[in-house]
Amino acid sequence: CSRDIAVLHCNKSTALYNLGKWSEAVFSAYQSLHWDPEYVKAYYRAGHSLIMLSDSHEAISMFHKGLVLLNASADRTQVADFIAGIFISVNDERIFPPAFSSAYDYIFSARFDALIWQAVIERLAQKGKWRACLLLLSEKKELPTNLRVNQLSLKNLFETAELYGRGEKMQEVAELVKWLISMGAKVETIGAYLLHAVVRLCIK
């Protein structure tokens, strides 16, 4: 009975999120967790709603709690969603919130397999969260050596302005591109005219 009520509140949270009512969505997700603290989907819904409210600290906390509950799960898709959520939470942050350190340590101590990390990187790339990808690049020695990212387009890396204009060095972009290509990303996904994309990037 408690799980059924938790599911109803979580479904309500999803509907409110889709309507752009993020405060109400967070409240409904918390109501869901009140009825069933182990209902993982409610942590996920709360986390994404909190991102929209720019509460990165609490968002990370929600994703982290959900990830701990999922640790023994065989559902790689869900695990990847929660890891990606943690990194998305800090993508636009100049100073990482306190919750990030413990979540970060947990992620790299859990030794998730290559398929999970592949899904994480592809999710971050699809959403244009390149600064989060740079965080992973800095820890590439901790990632599985057989990691591949075949379903990844580099196009919006060259179209997204969030990596440049904020003091970051262009070399970081180059290192990120090389790293992604070394794992299977295709150079052709930058676009039909590669030189044009590079020139536009350099102008920026």
Q: Residues 38-61: pLDDT tens digits?
A: 999 999 999 999 999 999 999 999
At residue 189, the pLDDT reads 80
CA 51 to chain centre: 11
Tell me how many domains the chain contains.
1
131-182: per-residue pLDDT in tens? 888 888 888 889 998 989 888 888 777 666 555 544 456 677 788 888 888 8
CATH of the domain at 53: 1.25.40.10
Lowest mean pLDDT among 71-85, 116-130, 184-198: 184-198
Owning domain of residue 39: 1-110
For residue 72, being part of any structural domain is answered with yes
For residue 177, being part of any structural domain is answered with no
For residue 161, being part of any structural domain is answered with no
Residue 29 clears pLDDT 90, i.e. is over it: yes
Residue 119 clears pLDDT 70, i.e. is over it: yes
At 96, phi and psi to the nearest 5?
-70, 135
Listed in sequence order, the residues at least 6 apart from 150 whose beta carbon sits closer than 8 Å to its beta carbon are 184, 185
The fraction of the chain above a pLDDT of 90, given in percent, is: 52
For residue 106, being part of any structural domain is answered with yes
For residue 182, being part of any structural domain is answered with no
Provide the token pair at 110.
């859990």
For residue 139, being part of any structural domain is answered with no
Question: What average pLDDT does this structure show over 55-83?
Answer: 91
For residue 59, being part of any structural domain is answered with yes
For residue 10, being part of any structural domain is answered with yes
Q: pTM of this prediction?
A: 0.86
